[in-house]
């Protein structure tokens, strides 16, 4: 029993941070929506790395005024993931085991299914195809591929967790929920490949046992490295 109490003591202190969860999200929301100067600085920072690249004309706008904007946001991320896994599955690193080749092929089809689902669900409201940039990934190197896969999966989980609250249609909220847990399964698998037992490690999962919930500004800043197409979020 003593151990148990010790355990509770350890867990309760971090649990206090749980009350920060909601205000934190609201805070970042306010910062993104309201803090004009900071937002501009952020956009500039996000673009810095791409300054030497030719910008794709037009770009896409994700308008969060309704569910289509949120679904297009998910569609954009699924396009990115699908493109990555297609490249991995079609030409896996030599360091991949047969089982890893099989599972990366599985994941490839999951991401393709997600991408096509959103495309169909959105119909004429769907954004176009994004232009990806995977020049920072060494597709012949297992470590590089696994690192990128982990980044994509953890980012995807955080993106869906953060976007769910914006959805107003039951069917779309449930669909997003159906997808995010599959992404979390991927994330755990990839993390365990990199280092067994890190499936839900800190800081990805915090002391309250909570996964990340990320706002679109954070997600797109991180994903921007892999996307040439300019993405703008409005009405968040």
Partner 1 sequence: MNIVNILEEIEKVDGEIYERLNPRRSAMKDFYNMGKKVALAAMPLALGSMFTKAYGQSTPTAVVDVLNFALTLEYLEYHFYNHSLLAAPGLLTAGTPAHGAITTIRDHELAHVNLLKGALGSAARPALAYSDFDFTAKGTFPTVYSDYKTFLAVAQAFEDTGVRAYKGQATVLKGMPVLTTALQIHSVEARHASHIRQMRAAPAGGGVPIKPWISLGAGGGANDSGVPQVDPVYKGEDLETQAGVTITGIATGVTKAAAVESFDEPLAKADVLTIASLFIK
125 belongs to the binding site for partner 1 (CB under 8 A): no
43 near partner 1, rule: CB under 8 A: no
Q: Which residue in 36, 37, 58, 94 binds partner 1 (CB under 8 A)?
A: 37
Closest approach of Cβ 235 to partner 1, in Å?
15
Hey, what are 144's tokens?
């590089």
Among 61, 187, 171, 173, CA closest to 125: 61
Size of the site for partner 1 (CB under 8 A): 98
In the list 50, 101, 133, 225, the residue contacting partner 1 (rule: CB under 8 A) is 225
Nearer to partner 1, 61 or 119 (CB): 119
* Cβ burial 181-220 (10 Å sphere, 16+ → b, else e): ebbbebbbbbbebeeeebbeeeebeeeeeebbbbbbbbbb
- For partner 1, the binding residues in 92-121 under the rule CB under 8 A are 103, 106, 108-110, 112-114, 116-117, 120-121
49 binds partner 1 (CB under 8 A): no
> Smallest distance from the beta carbon of 57 to partner 1, in angstroms?
25
> What is d(CA 118, CA 160) in angstroms, rounded to the nearest whole number?
13
Burial 112-142 (b: 16+ CB within 10 A, else e): bebbebbbebbeeeebeebebbeeebebeeb
230 touching partner 1, by CB under 8 A = no
Q: CB nearer to partner 1: give 58 or 73.
A: 73
Is there binding between residue 148 and partner 1 (CB under 8 A)? yes
Selected range binding partner 1 among 55-63, 90-98, 154-162, 228-236, rule: CB under 8 A: 154-162
Distance between CA atoms of residues 46 and 41, nearest Å: 9
Within residues 199-218, the interface with partner 1 by CB under 8 A covers 199-201, 205, 207-215, 217-218
Assess contact for 157 and 205: CB atoms under 8 A.
no
Q: Mapping DSSP to helix (H, G, I), strand (E, B) and coil, where does residue 31 land?
A: helix
């Amino acid at each position: 029993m003593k151990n148990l109490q010790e355990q509770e003591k350890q867990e309760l202190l971090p649990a206090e941070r749980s009350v920060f969860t909601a205000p934190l999200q609201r805070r970042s929301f306010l910062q993104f929506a309201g803090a004009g100067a900071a937002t501009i600085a952020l956009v500039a920072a996000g673009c810095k790395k791409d300054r030497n690249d030719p910008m794709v004309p037009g770009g896409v706008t994700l308008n969060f005024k309704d569910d289509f904007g949120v679904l297009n946001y998910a569609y954009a991320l699924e396009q990115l993931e699908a493109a990555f896994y297609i490249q991995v599955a079609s030409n896996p690193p030599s360091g991949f085991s047969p089982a890893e080749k099989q599972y990366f092929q599985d994941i490839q089809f999951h991401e393709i299914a997600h991408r096509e689902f959103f495309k169909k669900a959105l119909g004429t409201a769907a954004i176009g195809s994004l232009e990806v940039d995977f020049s920072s990934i060494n597709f012949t190197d297992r470590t590089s591929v696994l690192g990128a896969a982990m980044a994509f999966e953890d980012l995807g989980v955080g993106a869906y967790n953060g976007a769910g609250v914006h959805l107003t249609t039951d069917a779309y909220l449930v669909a997003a929920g159906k997808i995010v847990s599959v992404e979390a399964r991927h994330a755990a698998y990839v993390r365990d490949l990199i280092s067994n037992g890190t499936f839900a490690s800190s800081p990805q999962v915090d002391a309250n046992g909570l996964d990340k919930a990320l706002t679109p500004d954070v997600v797109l800043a991180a994903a921007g490295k892999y996307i040439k197409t300019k993405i703008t979020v409005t009405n968040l």
